[in-house]
Amino acid sequence: MKHISPFKPLDIAAIVLGIVAAVFISVKVYSNQSGTLFAHITGPKGEWIEPLDKDKEIDVEGPLGITKVKIAGGAASVIDSPCANKLCMSQGAASKPNQWIACLPNKVFVKIEGRTPSKDQPDASTF
């Protein structure tokens, strides 16, 4: 008696292609390759995404005036702000993924995004 397979050649090809695609996507998503870190800066009048490996100053306009964000030496920091208490300036520099700086009175938010090669880094941190 001849055994008849319920799968046709194209069925098998589609299954194999699906498995290969799933493995490829999984490797890309879950690989531990390091990448460039970025400062994601948001304000009431715009949004900026700047790499941390290039020095730059960004003026972010808010309801109180201009908040100056400086990117230098692989870190982002607020160097000047029109808010009264200047807490955003005293927060220091952010250089690791998920670190952030906020100037709440002027509605400016700076968050570091990207990948890190170390598994020892926390998911989120404040300072």
Q: Could you read off the pLDDT tens digit of each residue along the chain, which spans 127 residues?
A: 667 778 788 888 999 999 999 998 887 766 655 578 999 999 999 999 999 999 999 999 999 999 999 999 999 999 999 999 999 999 999 999 889 999 999 999 999 998 655 555 555 555 5
Domain-embedded: residue 119: no
Tokens 């029109």 belong to 82
Q: Is residue 126 part of a domain?
A: no
- Rounded CA-CA distance 45/67 in Å is 12
Does 29 fall in a domain? Answer: no
Structure tokens at 121: 């880094």
**CATH (domain of 108):** 2.60.320.10
- In this structure, the number of other CB atoms found within 10 A of the CB of residue 43 comes to 22
- The verdict on residue 1 lying in a domain is no
Sheet holding 46-51, edge to edge: 46-51, 38-43, 108-113, 100-103
pTM (2 d.p.): 0.64
Q: State the total domains in the chain.
A: 1
Residue 20 lies in a domain: no
Burial class (CB in 10 A: 0-12, 13-18, 19+), 86: middle
Parent domain of 96: 38-113
